[in-house]
Amino acid sequence: MATAGADRPKRDTYRHGDLRRALVEAGVDLARHGGPDAVVLRAATRRVGVAPNAAYRHFADRDALQRAVCAAAQGELARAMEAEFDALASDVLAADAEPVAAARARLRAIGVGYLRFARTEPGLFRTAFSVPTDLSGSTSPQLAGDTGHPPFELLSGALDELTSLGALPPDRRPGAEFIAWSAVHGLAVLLIDGPLRGVTSTEIGDIERRVLDTVEQGLLPPP
């Protein structure tokens, strides 16, 4: 049993086996409850039952661990978006249904999933955006969900589909991601950290609908 341990989860082998993954998982758990600031090196190693310095064999510093946790959180966000995507009522997507309506429903599902994730996992949501990125860093497969696409690509894909169906004019397509993302991301932040905290859930539903409507109206010309 090694030395009489000060902390609980002592392992019996000297080697851990998969320490890097274990540290990221511990970090995700910390982030889930306390946001990005709770991703603390020593706390993560304590959970895993390892000395603080062991982390330095897998991460250059605390920042590197935070980046890894941030990427994992973006993966969770992508999964939430995919889940809403998959849960679309099948009648909307039936073969004889209006294809443009189906594509619009998919765009909307992406927004709904985004907002649901922000509401149900605020700590992870904040963590997903805690590390400054740029465009190239937003399409890395490291941030992907189950379908292999990071959040940004899921949105781009839905917009591409609308374009190919003629619902989104090609001259409006460039940069359309940012219009949609701005509105939905801004609302998410307002809901979890801003003046909309503590608003009742029915009112939240109203506001979410209005924001999504506004995005659609602003993006897609009236049919």
What are the residues binding DNA (CB under 7 A)? 3, 13-17, 19, 40-43, 46, 50-54, 56-58, 61-63
> Degrees (nearest 5) of the Cα angle 150, 19, 74?
15
| Dihedral sign for Cα atoms in the order 75, 76, 79, 80 | negative
How far from 80 is each of 109, 110, 124, 146, CA to CA, in Å? 10, 9, 12, 10
| Site map 182..201 versus its own copies, x via CB under 8 A | xxxxxxxxx-xxxxxxxx--
Question: What distance in Å separates the CA atoms of residue 223 and residue 221, rounded to the nearest whole number?
Answer: 6
Minimum Å gap between C-beta 192 and DNA is 23
Q: Are 70 and 130 in contact (CB under 8 A)?
A: yes
Identify which of residues 5 and 194 has a Cβ nearer to its own copies in the complex: 194
Closer to its own copies by CB, 132 or 148: give it: 132
Q: Where do we find the tokens 């330095």?
A: 56
Residue 189: CB minimum distance to its own copies, A: 6
CA gap 38, 203 in Å, rounded: 31
Residue 211 interacts, among DNA, its own copies, none and using kind-specific CB cut-offs from 5 to 8 Å, with its own copies
Measured from the CB atom, the residue of 106 and 185 that comes closer to its own copies is 185
Q: Which residues bind its own copies (CB under 8 A)?
A: 37, 129, 132-135, 137-138, 152, 175, 178-179, 181-190, 192-199, 203, 206-207, 210-211, 213-215, 217-219
